[in-house]
Amino acid sequence: MTREQRAKRVQEFLDEHFPETPIPLHHKDAYTLLIAVLLSAQCTDERVNKTTPALFALADTPDAMIRLSVEQIEAIVRPCGLAPRKSKAIYDLSAILVRQHASQVPADMQALEALPGVGHKTASVVMSQAFGVPAFPVDTHIHRLAQRWGLTQGKNVVQTENDLKKLYPPESWNRLHLQIIFYGRQICSARQCNGLHCPLCREFYPNRTRPTSVNKT
């Protein structure tokens, strides 16, 4: 199988087995999604979803958020880890949204990446899931699976993202991003598969005998 053939088979398989792709992080608009994605760094979506209701009950808009202190925010988001950094980023980006963007989350990748605590992946998630703009956010699940399936040899998520964007048309990126995440969590996790056991790994590499290692810098 060529790389292009494997990519096509991945999409066919995921469309069959994961036809529904709900957004894992609970939110009601672009702002609450942005905050939830920021909190999800080095934290599970499940934990974020348990934490954000208390935060959003107090502040679910930039204007309301900056009426809280950083210490108040930190006390609520502590279960998500990295609380001092995340709470300050939430406060600071909210202040910037109020001052520079009329309290609205900008539907612009460059403007999003300029916000405190918002990297390329977070901005890509917001662009794709809040605004429907084609983006292919690559997290650790996607990076790992793309390598196991022979879709990339990228040593980091940036290279993997570029390779996947070349293999798939833009109109498929938003849906496929979520489908691969679901597959990686439910079927081809780091512990359950290691490149040897899941249906797609076995189909693509039936003679593979050793666990795959993930290229990363």
- What is the reported pLDDT for 170? 97
The catalytic residue among 60, 139, 155, 165 is 139
- 30-131: CATH topology is Endonuclease III; domain 1 (1.10.340)
H-assigned helices in the chain: 3-17, 30-39, 45-58, 62-65, 70-77, 83-100, 109-113, 120-131, 140-148, 157-167, 170-186, 199-204
28 is catalytic: no
139 is catalytic: yes
Considering the entire predicted model, what is its pTM?
0.93
- What is the reported pLDDT for 168? 98
Where do the structural domains in the chain lie, given as residue ranges? 3-21+136-204, 30-131
Q: Rounded distance, CA 148 to CA 196, Å? A: 9
Q: In which band, very low, low, confident or very high, does the pLDDT at 27 lie, cut at 50, 70 and 90?
A: very high
Q: Rounded distance, CA 142 to CA 158, Å? A: 11
Looking at domain 3-21+136-204, which of 1.10.760.10, 1.10.260.30, 2.60.40.420, 1.10.1670.10 is its CATH number? 1.10.1670.10
- What is the reported pLDDT for 213? 79
